[in-house]
Amino acid sequence: MEEQHYAWLAKSFGRTDYLPLSPEDLAALGEAGEVIEKYPGTYLFREGADSDAAYIVEKGTVELSREGTDQPRIVGRVGEGSVIGDIALFREQPYYSSARALGPVTAFRLDRNKLLPLLMAHPKLALRWLVAGLDQLEKTQRRVLRLMNRTVVEQVAALLADEADQYGDVHLSQSSIATLLGTSRQSINEALAQLKKSKAVDTGYRKITVLNRDALAAHA
């Protein structure tokens, strides 16, 4: 069971052929953290709180949101293999957003007091972490480009293509998609109607089914 866990840790840090991690490295990483379970709706950490740990999501989905002064705004939604909380941790600043478990979540918690010495002792781990962080950065930059000069239909199509599971289902309410893309629920509804008319998707209660991925891609 432990080795399976280590294999998963290795995978979570990106391509396995790049900078292969030695068993000792993995063991050290495993030692430095602990596995935690979170019930749906509970918070891994909250916006503004002192950043004392980073988390690697092992199972389930976590939603990152920011309340600010206005309406809550969803910064992103991450699943298995994502590292969260590390930005605030390394920058020695409070958490920038809140992380809430959407379903049952299993995560690997890395305490800052243990993590920093660990990375100093294992440069390979530090580099791997660096690559993972830059990966995230690149993804975010792509998102910026996707957001600019795109209609709601295009954005929705792209999101559905990303978010669909192997059965082609997306379990998101229209309101959630709206805040995720920063638009209104009505616009999402209109966009979905358009996609439905072109036989690309079908809609249901809190569920969207992708019928034709090619047709969907044509909209993006």
Partner DNA sequence: ACATCACTGTCGGTTGTGCGACAATTGGGA
Partner DNA sequence: TCCCAATTGTCGCACAACCGACAGTGATGT
Euclidean distance between CA atoms 214 and 17, whole angstroms: 31
Stretch (H or E) spanning 219: none
Distance (Å, whole) CA 94 – CA 50: 5
In single-letter form, the type of residue at position 202 comes to: D
Give the C-alpha separation, 23 to 193, whole Å. Answer: 52
Which one of its own copies, DNA, none is in contact with 174 (Cβ closer than 5 to 8 A by kind)?
DNA
How many residues touch its own copies under the rule CB under 8 A: the total is 37
For its own copies, the closer of residues 5 and 146 by Cβ is 146
Q: Are 125 and 132 spatial neighbours (Cβ–Cβ below 8 Å)?
A: no
* CA neighbor of 208 nearest in space, from 198, 220, 195, 190: 195
The residue from 2, 92, 165, 214 that contacts its own copies (CB under 8 A) is 92
The binder of 141, among its own copies, DNA, none, by C-beta within 5 to 8 A per type, is: its own copies
What three-state secondary structure class fits 102? Answer: coil
Instruction: With CA atoms as reference, report the closest residue to 153 among 190, 180, 202, 205.
Output: 190
Closest by Cα among 119, 113, 194 to 156? 194
User: What percent of the residues of the chain are helix, what percent strand, and what percent coil, each to the nearest 5?
Assistant: 45, 25, 30
Kind plus residue range of the DSSP H or E element containing 69: none
Only one of the segments 18-26, 73-81, 100-108, 168-176 lies at the binding site for DNA (rule: CB under 7 A); that segment is 168-176
Stretch that binds its own copies, among 21-29, 145-153, 157-165, 189-197 (CB under 8 A): 145-153
Q: Answer yes or no: are the C-beta atoms of 115 and 32 closer than 8 Å.
A: yes
User: Using the rule CB under 8 A, is 121 a contact of its own copies?
Assistant: yes
Per CB under 7 A, the segment of 42-50, 62-70, 79-87, 176-184 that binds DNA is 176-184
Binding flag, residue 46, its own copies (CB under 8 A): no
Identified binder of its own copies from the candidate list 36, 78, 127, 161, rule CB under 8 A: 127
Strand 33-38 vs strand 83-84: parallel, antiparallel, or unpaired?
A: unpaired
Q: Which of 63, 80, 111, 135 binds its own copies (CB under 8 A)?
A: 135
Q: Is 189 in the site for DNA (CB under 7 A)?
A: yes
Q: Is 41 in the site for DNA (CB under 7 A)?
A: no
Task: Please tell me whether residue 123 binds its own copies under the rule CB under 8 A.
Answer: yes
Q: Single out the segment in contact with DNA by CB under 7 A; choices: 61-69, 74-82, 124-132, 178-186.
A: 178-186
Q: Which residues bind its own copies (CB under 8 A)?
A: 18, 66, 73, 75, 86-87, 90-92, 96, 116, 119-124, 126-127, 129-131, 133-138, 140-141, 143-145, 147-149, 182
Q: Which residues bind DNA (CB under 7 A)?
A: 149-153, 173-175, 182-187, 189-193, 203-206
